[in-house]
Amino acid sequence: MTEASSAVYFIGAGPGDPELITVKGMRLLQEADVVVYAGSLVQRAVLKFCRPGIEAHDSAMMDLDAIVDVMVNAAKAGRRCARLHTGDPGLYGALREQTSALEAAGISYEIVPGVSSAFASAAALKRELTVPGGTQTVIFTRLAGRTPVPVSEGLASLASHNATICVFLSAASIDDVVAGLSAGYPAGTPAAVVYKVTWEDERIIIGTLADISAKVKEAGITRHALVIVGAALGEGAGAASKLYDKAFSHGYRPL
């Protein structure tokens, strides 16, 4: 839906650091009359981009109906509403049930992407998630919890690809993560757990599939963390890209 006709904006706030919100997301916050933000995951410092006196709602203590009511009522009153999500709204954002409710109410909306913790974690680790001559695939997944995961998407099955794998929302079950991935990854596969990436209290745990569980438990990390496993995290992984090779031509740089 186009911005000109939208009344509600789902905005990715990024992983934590307020400066990682997009320019468009910041502008829409500045223009918003009402903001609904996930206070348990979004730094309140992001709200500094809002106008003074804005009507703000912390969705951490709200259920779906209450959140939708705020957005619908704002839109019907001709007020612009910003729904602020952590990271990117398209990943584990409980987005569809909100947009479906807006559609049912005849309310227009737009989704503004944000920086996922997966990419912020890669930056914090100073690594690429894909490497030439190595993996060209990245898998985003999670362990089953109160929200189930299809049997075909279990970690043991996904591990057969030996791709870079990012496991969200699962740090509290790090033993289960390791057990599942051990079905396909060697014990020496590089692994990292990044806690609250780009927040002031960010922590990075580096290890291998063999020892990452013990290190994470010793650090006391059980939430707000991303588990990344794959050969791409290793020192000197892969080969040099052909993109800038003198002997490699393409449409913008013929030989």
CA dist 10 and 133 (Å) reads 38
pLDDT of residue 147: 86
For Cα atoms 163, 236, 219, give the angle at the middle one, nearest 5 degrees: 70
Which residues in the chain are classed under CATH 3.40.1010.10?
3-112
pLDDT of residue 146: 85
Question: Residue 29 in contact with residue 84, Cβ under 8 Å?
Answer: yes
Q: What are the distances in angstroms from CA 215 to CA 22, 81, 184, 204, 206?
A: 34, 43, 21, 11, 8
Q: What are the distances in angstroms from CA 93 to CA 173, 180, 244, 250?
A: 21, 24, 37, 38
**pTM across the whole model:** 0.90
Q: How many CA atoms lie within 13 A of 174 on its CB side?
A: 30
pLDDT of residue 167: 98
Radius of gyration of the chain measured on its C-alpha atoms: 21
Which residues in the chain are classed under CATH 3.30.950.10?
117-233
pLDDT of residue 1: 43
Q: Please identify, in words, the CATH class of the domain defined by 3-112.
A: alpha beta
Tokens at residue 60, please?
């951490």
Q: Which residues of the chain have pLDDT under 70?
A: 1-5, 237-253, 255
CA dist 133 and 35 (Å) reads 45
CATH code given to domain 117-233: 3.30.950.10
22 CB contacts (<8 Å, ≥6 apart)?
12, 14, 112, 113, 114, 115
